[in-house]
Amino acid sequence: MSPNITSHTRYNYPNQYDVIVIGAGHAGCEAALASARMGCKTLIATLNLDSIGQMSCNPAIGGLAKSHIVREIDALGGEMAKNIDKTAIQYRMLNTKRGPAVWSLRAQADRKAYQQSMKFVLETSENLDMIQAEIIDFVVAKGENAPYKIIGVQTRTGLVIQSKCVVVTTGTFMNGLIHIGPTQLAGGRIAEPASIGLSDALRRLGLGLGRLKTGTPPRINGQGIEYDKVTEQPPDEHKEFFSYSTEDVNQPQVPCYVTYTNKNTHKIIHDNLNRAPLYTGQIKSVGPRYCPSIEVKIVKFADKDRHQIFIEPEGLHTTEMYLNGLATSLPQDVQIAMLRTIPGLAKAHIVKFGYAIEYDFVFPTQLYPYLEAKQIENLFLAGQINGTTGYEEAAGQGIMAGINAVLKIRREAPFILDRAQAYIGVLIDDLVTKGTEEPYRMFTSLAEYRLLLRQDNADMRLASFGHKFGLISDRQMRLLEEKKQQIESLIMLLQTTRHQEKTCAELLKRPEIRLSHLPEALFADYGPDVLRAVEMQVKYEGYIQRDVLRARKLKKLENKSIPTTFDYNQVYGLKREAAEKLKNIKPVSLGQASRISGISPCDISLILAHLERK
């Protein structure tokens, strides 16, 4: 039984579960849905049932590399893509000047609508119970292959709930500490309590925890914006959606706006750096480099005389606006003063002040690539607790943790995606193999197989897995088969249709020719994803083939699995430092082993030799 009970009275909850998910953010929702949809009796527990699927930061889904993850989640049978399509109030395709591999979709969300829609999906899901409760401890037993094994959880109010697996997706809530100027408040998000106690419970089970920082900008009442002083950024006219199953979107689409800081803004910030928690030493942990606070930008890039601010609507039924680009933990008077200097925002009223938050995270190298803790059997971790940031990164881990919890219960082989299969694979592999020192966000430059991992082909890469797990319907698979056939037939058509003495396929290979330059009649019947996939496959055939070859080589190493009980001391000739690292990370394959920093090709040869000898 649990070593530390803080409530005096305990009640055994009458229901027993296969999987309990702690936290109902983006990771938690996907984990719970995957588990329930795979037929496991699932419970999702959250501090506040009215902030399910909350976007703590900007009200947008997608963007570079993130949109790829959203489509991968969709291809695996997750909910995020469908949910944003139901609630998006602006779509924009980014990078359309470039090739298809780096096109990325981004949507502004109606924040409240997104939450409600997600909540409804959970509520109406079979096999899924919901409960508003703070989980403060785990019920554990001795593990078979690890020191501990999870058998349940305990709430602050004394409920003990039994389950076979637990997925922890607590985001920024564990020991969350909010900073607004010199003021410090305990909290998981603004106006929401932190989760206290769970960190200690994880520590007691032997996990190491660190601390990270992130931050948000002030939000304003849009009524005060002088729209003639800002630039409108309209939605795309040709809408493309996140989910492969979305056919159309009916809710109204609204614009964003752009404005800039200036020297006066920067002077105010500069004059108040002595009150900035990031510079006074009040904030001790590391924040994300790609999402620096405005005060950091001004100090670090002193030569820039202006910084971009995106004014993003929070929803259709509110005038609240989010000032993307102005994240800050400066004191409230400074936030007000700096807003006064920004064109278009001078008369706007701050309704929620910007803040920074520090929170506990678990060093993700303590997890297997299927997100189970090495120390604690049947405990899975996903999302921001693993050191990532971003809704999409969280959701991607969430669905993988949910699937793997179920596979664990069924005693089936874990589900791992490799770096050539999915951004989700890159994400988890980076986390569990290398760890992270700052909140980890996905970028296309992190993917070695960027040209293969496109958002137009996530379904072709991953839907068969989703189907195998019962998360993708037969009908969806039939549609996918049709799409594949369309791609093949269009390629065939291009190879056989002659235009100006050459086949269209040959023409398309010329650098200056795009698919859109060919006679329109050829491809009028095909959807944008088909066209993009065809253009990629025909026009950039050489690149695709090279990457496919590289991926095949990768696969060889990924397929050489290493048992988690493997004794590295038995490997003749392996250096001690290498053995220590390997014992620590416990790589599941030679591929993962080869990516551990400090492990040489020679070490890999030795392990291989040892494995083959058996």
Partner 1 sequence: MSDKDTICAVSTPPGEGGIGIIRISGRDAVRIAGTIFRPRRGGDLQSSASHTIHYGHVIDPCTAETIDEVLVSVMRAPATYTREDVVEINCHGGVVPLWRTIGLLIQAGARQAEAGEFTKRAFLNGRIDLAQAEAVIDIIRAKTELSQRSANEQLLGGLSRDISGLMERILRIITCIDAALDFPDEDIEMPSGESLEEGISSIIRGIDGLLSGYIYGSVLREGVAAAIVGRTNVGKSSLLNALLRQNRAIVTEIPGTTRDVIEEFINISGIPLKILDTAGIRHTHDMAEIEGVKRSLAVIESADIVLIVMDGSQALTPEDYKVIDKAKGKTAIGVINKSDLPKMTGSFEWPKIQMEVSCLTGAGLDLLKQKLVELMKKGAVPPGEHAWAVNRRHKTILEQSKANLERALSNVKNCLSPEFISEDLRGAMSSLGLITGTTYTEDILDRIFSTFCIGK
List residues binding partner 1 (CB under 8 A).
Answer: 58, 64-65, 94-95, 97-99, 101-102, 104, 289-292, 296-297, 300-301, 304, 307-308, 310, 324-325, 327, 434, 443-446, 448, 450-451, 511-512, 540, 543, 546-547, 553, 556-557, 572-573, 590, 600-602, 604-606, 608-609, 612-613
> Among candidates 32, 15, 14, 10, which has minimal Cα distance to 23?
32
Q: Are 54 and 189 in contact (CB under 8 A)?
A: yes
Structure tokens belonging to residue 449:
């197989």
Which residues, other chains included, contact 110 with Cβ-Cβ below 8 Å and sequence gap of 6+?
59, 87, 88, 89, 251, 314, 315, 316, 317
3-state secondary structure of 308: strand
- Residue 180: CB minimum distance to partner 1, A: 19
Q: Are 505 and 538 in contact (CB under 8 A)?
A: yes
- Residue 97: CB minimum distance to partner 1, A: 8
3-state secondary structure of 415: coil
324 - beta bridge partners?
310
434 versus 499: smaller Cβ distance to partner 1: 434
- Residue 136: CB minimum distance to partner 1, A: 35
Phi, psi for residue 409 in degrees, rounded to 5: -60, -40
108 versus 324: smaller Cβ distance to partner 1: 324
- Residue 220: CB minimum distance to partner 1, A: 16
Distance, CA of 173 to CA of 23 (rounded, Å): 9
Distance, CA of 337 to CA of 340 (rounded, Å): 5
131 versus 446: smaller Cβ distance to partner 1: 446
374 versus 454: smaller Cβ distance to partner 1: 454
- Residue 602: CB minimum distance to partner 1, A: 4
185 versus 557: smaller Cβ distance to partner 1: 557
62 versus 197: smaller Cβ distance to partner 1: 62
- Residue 304: CB minimum distance to partner 1, A: 5
DSSP 412: P
55 versus 379: smaller Cβ distance to partner 1: 55
> Among candidates 12, 1, 11, which has minimal Cα distance to 137?
1
- Residue 417: CB minimum distance to partner 1, A: 17
Distance, CA of 144 to CA of 182 (rounded, Å): 48
- Residue 176: CB minimum distance to partner 1, A: 22
44 versus 296: smaller Cβ distance to partner 1: 296
What is the signed CA dihedral for 165, 172, 120, 241, rounded to 10 degrees?
-110
Distance, CA of 323 to CA of 294 (rounded, Å): 11
379 versus 554: smaller Cβ distance to partner 1: 554
- Residue 197: CB minimum distance to partner 1, A: 34
AA letter at 81: A
456 versus 547: smaller Cβ distance to partner 1: 547
Q: How far apart are the first and last CA of the chain?
A: 40
- Residue 226: CB minimum distance to partner 1, A: 22
- Residue 544: CB minimum distance to partner 1, A: 11
22 versus 574: smaller Cβ distance to partner 1: 574
Secondary structure E strands in 295-440 = 308-313, 320-324, 349-352, 355-362, 376-377, 379-381
Angle, helices 423-434 vs 66-76, to 10°: value is 110
Distance, CA of 264 to CA of 334 (rounded, Å): 12
Q: Using alpha carbons only, how large is the chain's radius of gyration in Å?
A: 25
330 versus 451: smaller Cβ distance to partner 1: 451
Distance, CA of 441 to CA of 427 (rounded, Å): 8
> What does the buried/exposed string (b/e) look like for 182-197 if buried means 16 or more CB atoms within 10 Å of the residue's CB?
eeeeebbbbebebbbb
- Residue 262: CB minimum distance to partner 1, A: 15
- Number of Cβ within a 10 Å radius of residue 289: 11
22 - beta bridge partners?
45, 168
Secondary structure E strands in 84-134 = 88-94, 104-109, 128-132
- Residue 93: CB minimum distance to partner 1, A: 10
410 versus 552: smaller Cβ distance to partner 1: 552
3-state secondary structure of 497: coil
